[in-house]
Amino acid sequence: MAELKLKEIRRQLREMSDEDLRKEIAANRAALYDMRRQNALHQLKDTAAIRKARRQIARALTILRERELAREREGKK
């Protein structure tokens, strides 16, 4: 996901299915690994990208957890 407004990013993540969110998380984790490796080798120009990737992963994980808790609440009723 390119440089979008935070509201737009959140909307896009919420529209994704659970499987798409898991794929997004995996892709971001792979990108984060590459960025960390590049940073260690002093090849990374935009070090803020590491922080952005971590936050993107956290957003997706939060949405997955919210859905999981909602399913648990529905199951108990």
Rounded-to-integer distance, Cα 60 and Cα 48, Å: 19
Q: What φ, ψ does residue 41 adopt, rounded to 5°?
A: -90, 5
What is the rounded average pLDDT of the residues 3-14? 87
Domains of the chain: 16-76 (1.10.287)
Each residue's pLDDT tens digit, 10-45: 999 999 999 999 999 999 999 999 999 999 999 999
Q: pTM of the prediction? A: 0.87
pLDDT score for 3: 60
6 and 24 Cβ atoms separated by less than 8 Å = no
DSSP designation for 19: H
